[in-house]
Structure 1
Amino acid sequence: MTLIMGVLNVTPDSFSDGGQWASTDAAIEHGLLLHAQGADLIDVGGESTRPGATRVAPEQEQLRIIPVVTELASQGLRLSIDTLNASTARAAAKAGASIINDVSGGLADPGMAAVAADTGLTYVAMHWRAHAQQMDALADYGDVVTDVIAELRARVDALTAAGVAREQIVLDPGLGFSKKAEHNWQLINRLDAFAELGLPVMVGASRKRFLAAVLPVDAPVLDRDLPTAVVSVLAAQAGAWAVRVHDVAATRTALNVLASVREWTSPSPRQVPGAASRPSQWTHD
């Protein structure tokens, strides 16, 4: 069953929610709401990684997120920390986080692998080429699927060489990061190819700008939630370990539909009203 990771941006400059949850109290309240709506994991972030975003000092990042992590963890929620900084990841681990979600896959901070190894937390390593202000200039690929798989394999080799256990690692193809719109669609179309890496995969398409192509011109960002839910279903069908989303309620509904379809693909005749007249292929496997 694909997990839902709910996004909790404790930042004033998020592209997706305009800093609505920037205060500690508002962030805690929203984290609890995401959990109630069906999020299996809550991903707490204190630094925006949107294209062009300015870096935040680790100290400021920690002031934003550690009180939120501490309170939500005390209420039994399973938390992920969305950070590029090793010191923030370590502080969040002490505060109760159980997952490190590093969009740089350990490239932004050379100390991150040691934190993952020391803590033993699940470590999400995303495909990444540069920080937010430079990443769009590096969206150049021969074959994007082949290239991303090769670069993720190199990150796995580097991380395990640094002491991170292979079973800790989850991979993320990095939709929207150093990718043009066509690259994102190609990756979504071939998510099954990432199975060759032999590790769980997380997919984060939520509200990203490439989804605007399927909407009317000038549609608001929140209108991207429906295409996000569709991508989440496609990711689940490809075997994704988790999908990272802002609109948890819609994604939970979409994945419930997929689960129902899978459950009733070949129903037993006695479970279906009027099934006595159905052809013999309607049997339970």
Structure 2
Amino acid sequence: MNGLVRIIKVSAIGAAGLLMAACGSLGFAGGGGPPAAPVVRDPAPIVSGTMRPYQVRGRWYRPSEQPDYDETGMASWYGDAFNGKPTATGERFDMHGLSAAHKTLPLPGLVEVTNLANGRTAVLRVNDRGPFVDDRIIDLSRGAAEELGMIQQGVGRVRVRYLGPAPRGGGVGDLRYARREAPAPRPAPAPTERPASYWVQAGAYSDRTAAQIAAESLGERTRVETARVDGRDLYRVMIGPWSDANSAERARQGAMARGVRDALLISGR
């Protein structure tokens, strides 16, 4: 769940939700176990301000209604750094709730997320924007990561299916459930010839001295790189590299715990 959303004047990044809606606001269609989709009897209205096109770090995102959204990709999670802060919908981030952030789905909405490593499935309330990181399709709250068995890995491959509007009361209530088997994943892309490199960007500075001071405080795997942006030099503090995304994500979480609120994971460098 990744201060970034403040850039677009929506809210602090986070993927949050209030714990547990009133039980009367939710129900399931049919009987005999969890159905393919829940029935929300009292849907919350879409927060209109969250459906406008917005730009983050030079890239445009265009939220829209996506009733057939069904994607496979990488998920990450976050917790303490954003706990209690407002999300894009104005709800407060509860890191123990079952919630998530997505870049373009309607807010607030419900998604079904399946951990393709173990088949565990959970229904989550989407009420924030993000993650603005390469190769990520969703950011999970800590509670959602625990539900899906991803708390140790940091990142994992998931299937995300949009279910429709979220309940007005907040949270997901009785919608939480798990399946013994995961839905069939989409074919994975062919492996690249050389392993990907993963880095964590822990800041960008206009002053080299400030960048060097920041790098020295973050450990021996940190260095300063110079990039030319809009005709001027920018000094980026980079941590890494790692050969796998999980190790890099743990480093990103560690940098955030040390106060680097906008730490980014970058792949394919």
Q: TM-score, normalised by structure 2?
A: 0.26
Instruction: Write 1 or 2 for the structure with the bigger share of strand.
Output: 2
Instruction: Write 1 or 2 for the structure with the bigger share of helix.
Output: 1
Q: TM-score, normalised by structure 1?
A: 0.25
Bigger RCO of structures 1 and 2 (CA < 8 A, at least 6 apart) = 2
